Amino acid sequence: MNLAEKILSAHTDRKQVAPGEFINARVDLILANDITAPLAIKEFHRLGVPKIFDPKKVVFVPDHFVPSKDIASAEQVKIMRSFAREQGAIYFEVGQMGIEHVLLPEQGLALPGQVIIGADSHTCTYGAVGAFATGMGSTDIAAAMATGEIWMRVPPTIKFVYHGALPKWVGGKDLILFTIGKIGVDGALYAAMEFAGEAVNALPMDGRFTMANMAIEAGAKTGIFAVDGKTTAYLQQRARQPYKVYYADKDAQYSQVIEYDVSQLEPQVAFPPLPSNTRPVSQAKDIKIDQVVIGSCTNGRLTDLRIAAEVLKGKLVHPEVRCIVIPGSQQVYLQALKEGLIETFIRAGAAVSTPTCGPCLGGHMGILAAGERCISTTNRNFVGRMGSVKSEVYLASPAVGAASAILGRIASPEEVL
């Protein structure tokens, strides 16, 4: 069996599972947020079950419209907060919270070998630590909160192998945008994407989280990495409980093995309206922008902020550009403050926000007007994603975002350094 199959098999009463088979799998962690939790809670109550199966395995995080932007969003959070307190579930309040997919690994809740489900499509982020993690609908989450199990079809696995040493300024965001550009937004439909090769092995954990996060943008069920020394070091001071590591068998079967030489890869930019509409940054330099967003569950981690600050240090944001920087969690924010990154952003003329998903889904903290263009480190650039249906969103790394903020157009960091 491959890695995904090994983990799923261990969470059933079967010795082996294969792609296409339907299974009941025990879950280790269930997640919902301020948009998806209220519906899951409503459906949970309809089941007539008084208590969730295990309060220590259910996590609620307000992160999409927080701090609450209006009465409707405040009511959403209130429903979730009240249910979490009533049930004794894990709940992160504003001031302690962060963007859910940054927060859970940071807090040692997402661990290798686990089956993790979340009422959010980017739950696949936790595959970076060697978990089988996937997004599900709120009704599935309600059933799992009651029973501790999910019903699903075992996905096939596509193995992606990245060869070569990555050039300066090229990281996880560029690798995953390049990959989605090659295979398309349905190129891994309902498959597990297993990432391997010397290029990804060299990535820091933050870069791996970025790649796993955007597996869903290729239609995947999950994105997953094998646990190595970097994973173990990351979890050493974080893991809240013991965990079990699984590895693919040497004779593991894959539906496909796709290999890339990325030693000459340029930073990538995804043009609207799809994450698959990717081009090298050298082919995107004539596009004027109005806004830059650096943050999100894709690129709001400390490594991302360090890269953006390296580009922005001693420079100024273009006078016609709004640059919004959003640390992914309170811990990231505090460490960025200690390292002087926040001062760098503010001196450059950027706005720095409390942790929130806000602008990524057009929620708040950076809505686009008609005719405006934004280059963002987020994960989706669909029509109307960040505001007006007549606006445009381009996806890129923190390095490209920061360079673009300085020049007022899509730019490579090499142009400003």
Q: For the chain, what is the domain count?
A: 2
Find the domain containing 329 and state its range. 268-415
Same domain, 204 and 344: no
What confidence tier does 155 reach under pLDDT thresholds 50, 70, 90? Answer: very high
Q: Which tens digits make up the pLDDT trace of 15-69?
A: 999 999 999 999 999 999 999 999 999 999 999 999 999 999 999 999 999 999 9
- Residue at which a domain ends, from 202, 229, 260: 260
Same domain, 229 and 336: no
Same domain, 292 and 149: no
User: Would you say 382 and 185 are in contact if contact means Cβ atoms under 8 Å apart?
Assistant: no
pLDDT score for 150: 97
Query: What single DSSP character describes residue 275?
Result: T
The residues, ordered by sequence, that sit 6+ positions from 8 with a Cβ below 8 Å of its Cβ are 17, 23, 25, 115, 132, 154
Sign of the torsion angle spanned by Cα atoms 180, 181, 185, 190 = negative
Helix, strand, coil shares of the chain, percent, nearest 5, are: 35, 20, 45
Other C-beta atoms closer than 10 Å to the C-beta of 188 total 29
Q: What is the mean pLDDT of residues 110-122?
A: 98
Same domain, 177 and 207: yes
Same domain, 121 and 233: yes
Q: Which tens digits make up the pLDDT trace of 62-114?
A: 999 999 999 999 999 999 999 999 999 999 999 999 999 999 999 999 999 99
Same domain, 88 and 209: yes
What is the DSSP track for 153-180? Answer: EPPPEEEEEEESPPPTT--HHHHHHHHH
pTM: 0.97
| Short-list 322, 286, 311, 301, CA closest to 410 | 286
Q: Which tens digits make up the pLDDT trace of 225-263?
A: 999 999 999 999 899 999 999 999 999 999 999 999 999
pLDDT score for 383: 96
Same domain, 286 and 377: yes
- Residue at which a domain ends, from 236, 260, 284: 260
What is the Cα–Cα distance from 164 to 171, expressed in whole angstroms? 13
